[in-house]
Amino acid sequence: MKVVISATLRSFFNRESETEIEGNTITEILNGLTTKYPDSKKGLYDEHGEIRRFIRIFADDDDRTDKKRHSESLSGVKEVLILPLVAGGSPEGSIISDERRKEVTLDDKEVEQFNKHLLLREISVKGQKRIKAAKVVIVGAGALGSPVIQYLAAAGVGTIKVIDHDFVAVSNLQNQVIHSSRDIKRPKAASAKDTIRGINRNIEVIAENQMLTAENAISLLEGFDLVIDCTDNYKARYLINDACILLGIPLVFASIYQYEGMVGIFGYEDGPCLRCVFPEPPAPGLVPTCAEGGTISPLGGIIGSIQANEALKLIIGIGEHLSGKLLKVDTLGLNSHILKIKKDCNCPLCGDKPTITDVIDFDYEEFCGLNTGEDEIPVEGFTPEELAHKIESGEHLTIVDVREPHERAIIKFPDALVIPIGQLARRQKELNPQIDTVFICKEGKRSILAINTLREAGYKGAMYNLKGGMDAMKDIIFSNEGGGL
């Protein structure tokens, strides 16, 4: 059979434009082609073994690209053509449809209020109407939620829901600028609602003073155009990601830690989700939260403002955005970079064969193997008083501090051997199995993880946990300054 190859596909066929292949079906012709031109396999088929989207196979003028027609006889056919399909599309515009936009009007006061948006060619009246038509949920009214909620309210987003189960505390005022000292002990959601109403009374505000859980995630997020994750813990991030993907709602994600932050968009069009990049959360305690690690005051403002800006771009339908990318910002070294991330076809949530089809609650600690299961040897521990007594009575002990450098900078444990969790298995030779070893961390959780890690690595010596960690021990250390402890 005569096979004609388009010049546009020549790089797969040794630059030949015509060849003779034995065969009476398309399947036979394709097999013959890939045998004769091994390079053509990569050109004709994708990683799943399917014919690539840009390939069209014709028998004379009959399109036989569809697999079902590959076994049909080619008798009477003069030539088989391997041609390209040149096709594409514009990037999707706004997440708010034209119909929704047209239902909205702007009054004179709004024209005055949003004048600076109307002046921008890319936004103008159409974009402002989309902003007004938009319904956005913000989960978390803390460091990130503060700028996100205030800027989206200021920009004129028509419907805003704030979900937060927490109450305002004094320590929140350092970086949660939506709350004031008058709001202390009030629900954060209610305090955020007051701030929004102060900016624009026309906004429909829904304050949800409850925790987002597997049971309520779908009902709390359903019907909204966009979700913004401003939470500070892994459990919430995975629940929100799963619910958004199942509901088909795009998600603007961010996280902050000390001086650094990260922003990305998940579940937008065909883009990746959180689980494509991080299929499962890290073990609890391995990554300190902001409550443990601290953050510089304006960090939430910087990262949250980028989140709000991304949200507005999706709503208006302009610009390049962070779908399929993660923006990392280091405010101490003043640099930022964008990592490209890909959708994973094996993703348990949004891949080709998803195994997660429902928002499922998981006991985060259980899930990550921190809770001692029945078949696991329980970890023995000392209370701070017991440990202090042992040290004072001169017992032979090795103390291993698994905390991070910044945690040790606040309070040191005298004469402790410092080994970060990640290095434990490798450095187990530094420990003497004949001597009892006590592991300490901030709260007494990572130390359990450390003991289990060493057990798995085959360490045979006796290991104990300091119950409650340094948080529980520090009073004893302070009162013993200058003494043995």
Partner 1 sequence: MKGITVSFSEAVRMELGLEAVKEYPSECCGILLGVVDDQGNTKVTKVIPMKNNLMKDSDRKHYIIDPIKLYETERDYKETDREVIGFYHSHPDALAIPSVEDEEGMIPEMIYLITEVRNGKDTGLRGYIRGLDRDSLQELEITT
Interface ranges with partner 1 (CB under 8 A): 4, 6-9, 11, 42-43, 47, 53-54, 56, 58, 61, 63, 81, 83-93, 121, 269-271, 317-320, 340, 342
Least spacing, CB of residue 272 vs partner 1, in Å: 11
Least spacing, CB of residue 48 vs partner 1, in Å: 12
Asked whether 46 and 54 are in contact (CB, 8 A), the reply is no
Least spacing, CB of residue 350 vs partner 1, in Å: 14
CA quadruple 389, 393, 396, 400: dihedral, nearest 10: 30
Q: How many CA atoms lie within 13 A of 453 on its CB side?
A: 22
Q: Which residue, 11 or 371, is less far from partner 1 as judged by CB?
A: 11
- DSSP per-residue codes, 13-27: TTT-SEEE---SSHH
Phi/psi-derived region of residue 261, left when phi > 0, alpha when psi is between -120 and 50, beta in every other case: beta
Least spacing, CB of residue 316 vs partner 1, in Å: 12
Q: Which residue, 197 or 342, is less far from partner 1 as judged by CB?
A: 342
Asked whether 35 and 81 are in contact (CB, 8 A), the reply is no
Q: Which residue, 39 or 380, is less far from partner 1 as judged by CB?
A: 39
Q: Which residue, 158 or 317, is less far from partner 1 as judged by CB?
A: 317
Short-list 162, 96, 177, 90, CA closest to 129: 96
Tokens 């798995």, residue?
Answer: 456
Q: Which residue, 57 or 450, is less far from partner 1 as judged by CB?
A: 57
Least spacing, CB of residue 265 vs partner 1, in Å: 13
Least spacing, CB of residue 92 vs partner 1, in Å: 7
Q: Which residue, 50 or 415, is less far from partner 1 as judged by CB?
A: 50
Q: Which residue, 56 or 408, is less far from partner 1 as judged by CB?
A: 56
Least spacing, CB of residue 437 vs partner 1, in Å: 46
Quote the CA–CA distance of 152 and 290 in Å, as a whole number.
Answer: 24
First-to-final CA distance of the chain: 89
Asked whether 81 and 21 are in contact (CB, 8 A), the reply is no
Asked whether 26 and 70 are in contact (CB, 8 A), the reply is yes
Answer yes or no: 244 catalytic: no
Name 139's Cβ contacts closer than 8 Å, sequence gap at least 6. Answer: 145, 163, 164, 212, 227, 228, 229, 230, 231, 236, 240
Answer yes or no: 290 catalytic: yes
Quote the CA–CA distance of 221 and 273 in Å, as a whole number.
Answer: 17
Q: Say which amino acid occupies 192.
A: A
Q: Which among 290, 347, 350, 368 is annotated as catalytic?
A: 290
Q: Which residue, 8 or 372, is less far from partner 1 as judged by CB?
A: 8
Name 434's Cβ contacts closer than 8 Å, sequence gap at least 6. Answer: 461
Least spacing, CB of residue 9 vs partner 1, in Å: 7
Taking only Cα atoms into account, the Rg of the chain, rounded to an integer number of angstroms, comes to: 30
Tokens 């000292």, residue?
Answer: 181
Beta sheet of 335-340, edge-to-edge order: 204-208, 159-163, 135-139, 226-229, 251-257, 260-266, 325-330, 335-340
Residue 82: φ, ψ to 5°: -105, 110
Least spacing, CB of residue 44 vs partner 1, in Å: 11
Question: What are the Cα distances from residue 447, in Å, to 405, 426, 432?
Answer: 15, 17, 18
Quote the CA–CA distance of 66 and 25 in Å, as a whole number.
Answer: 13
Q: Which residue, 43 or 301, is less far from partner 1 as judged by CB?
A: 43
Residues marked as catalytic: 290, 441
